[in-house]
């Protein structure tokens, strides 16, 4: 069982993220003098520490809204949704949904989806290590059995499909590409970390359905049919080769 909280913990924590709450009277020095100013300094450090954590997770979002606006958003989010875990890399999972609720009209929709993709980037970064599947493993499968092949996904593999140009926005916002001419162009992202670096790639039309099915454990034939139903022009062989090259899978499920 977790230890019981200390009697002063709750009143001490209550005002850390709310500047309207006065410093608790239980804080003082050896002479009995209240330490309200010291509490305010600590409160400010906590708030700014959480805001900087949000800034480090969402650099592309910060780029597109501007540093000053983003700092205000990060502080407001820290006060509205404090961490639920002592691990700071777990923080920020609710930031995108929060942006959906409060983002100004000019950022509506695409900014929250960009935040979702950046959060997936960090999740992939912290995922477990695993060796990617050797693409030549498929050469050992009989041609008539290829449709039955199932894959085991790499722990870092993520997929995100958006009605907005999130991959282009992410790359440009992180200094690795040009700004998209149309932010409302649908894009699907493949996020992987086959070695030490996270990679974000474009998925072709139908690629999201194909990859989603494969990660869910569907046989290759079923996944291909789902992709073709959504995008009749998709090149299944090329899409699969690109996924294998990106390190999306670790092994064949029946190997």
Q: What is the pLDDT of residues 37-70, one digit of tens each?
A: 777 777 778 888 889 999 999 999 999 999 999 9
Beta bridge partners of 202: 189
Out of 26-35, 72-81, 113-122, pick the least confident.
26-35
Q: Can you tell me the distance from the alpha carbon of 81 to that of 97, in angstroms, rounded to the nearest whole number?
A: 11
Average pLDDT on 136-146 reads 87
Q: Residue 44's pLDDT is what?
A: 76
pLDDT at 237 over 60: yes
Q: Rounded to the nearest 5°, which phi and psi values hold at 189?
A: -115, 140
Could you tell me the pTM of the whole model? 0.85
Q: Can you tell me the distance from the alpha carbon of 28 to that of 111, in angstroms, rounded to the nearest whole number?
A: 44
| % pLDDT > 90, the chain | 60
- Running DSSP on this structure, what letter comes out for residue 43? H
| Interval 91-131: pLDDT, tens | 889 999 999 998 878 888 899 999 999 999 999 999 999 99
Q: Residue 9's pLDDT is what?
A: 63
Domains, the chain, ordered by start: 1-108 (no CATH), 124-255 (3.90.930)
Q: How many residues does the chain have?
A: 255
Four-CA torsion 34, 35, 39, 41, nearest 10 degrees: 150
Q: Do 77 and 100 form a contact (C-beta atoms < 8 A)?
A: no
Q: Can you tell me the distance from the alpha carbon of 180 to that of 169, in angstroms, rounded to the nearest whole number?
A: 7
Q: Do 12 and 28 form a contact (C-beta atoms < 8 A)?
A: no
Average pLDDT on 182-202 reads 93
Q: Can you tell me the distance from the alpha carbon of 106 to that of 220, in angstroms, rounded to the nearest whole number?
A: 41
Give me the residue label for tokens 């009605």.
Answer: 163
Q: Do 167 and 202 form a contact (C-beta atoms < 8 A)?
A: yes
Question: Element (H or E) spanning 242, and its range?
Answer: helix 236-246
> What rounded mean pLDDT belongs to the chain?
87
Residue 108 token pair: 């509506």
Q: Do 140 and 231 form a contact (C-beta atoms < 8 A)?
A: no
Q: Can you tell me the distance from the alpha carbon of 134 to that of 176, in angstroms, rounded to the nearest whole number?
A: 28
| % pLDDT > 70, the chain | 85
């Amino acid at each position: 069982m977790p230890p019981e909280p200390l009697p002063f913990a709750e009143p001490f924590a209550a005002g850390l993220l709310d500047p309207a709450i006065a410093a608790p009277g239980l804080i003082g020095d050896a002479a009995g003098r209240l330490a309200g100013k010291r509490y305010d300094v600590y409160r400010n450090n906590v708030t700014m520490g959480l805001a900087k954590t949000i800034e480090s997770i969402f650099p592309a979002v910060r780029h597109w809204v501007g540093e000053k606006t983003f700092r205000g958003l990060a502080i407001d989010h820290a006060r509205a949704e404090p961490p639920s875990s002592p691990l700071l890399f777990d923080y920020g999972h609710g930031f995108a949904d929060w942006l959906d609720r409060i983002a100004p009209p000019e950022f509506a929709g695409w900014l929250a989806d960009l935040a979702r993709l950046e959060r997936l980037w960090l999740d992939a970064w912290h995922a477990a290590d695993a060796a990617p599947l050797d693409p030549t493993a498929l050469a050992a499968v009989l041609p008539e059995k290829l449709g039955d092949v199932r894959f085991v996904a790499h722990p870092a593999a993520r997929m995100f499909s958006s009605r907005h140009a999130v991959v282009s926005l992410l790359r440009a916002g992180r200094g690795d590409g040009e700004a998209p001419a149309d932010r409302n162009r649908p894009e699907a992202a493949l996020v992987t970390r086959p070695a030490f670096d996270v990679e974000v790639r474009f998925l072709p039309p139908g690629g999201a359905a194909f990859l989603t099915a494969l990660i869910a454990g569907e046989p290759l034939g079923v996944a291909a049919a789902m992709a073709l139903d959504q995008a009749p022009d998709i090149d299944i062989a090329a899409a699969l080769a690109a996924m294998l090259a990106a390190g999306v899978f670790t092994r064949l499920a029946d190997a």
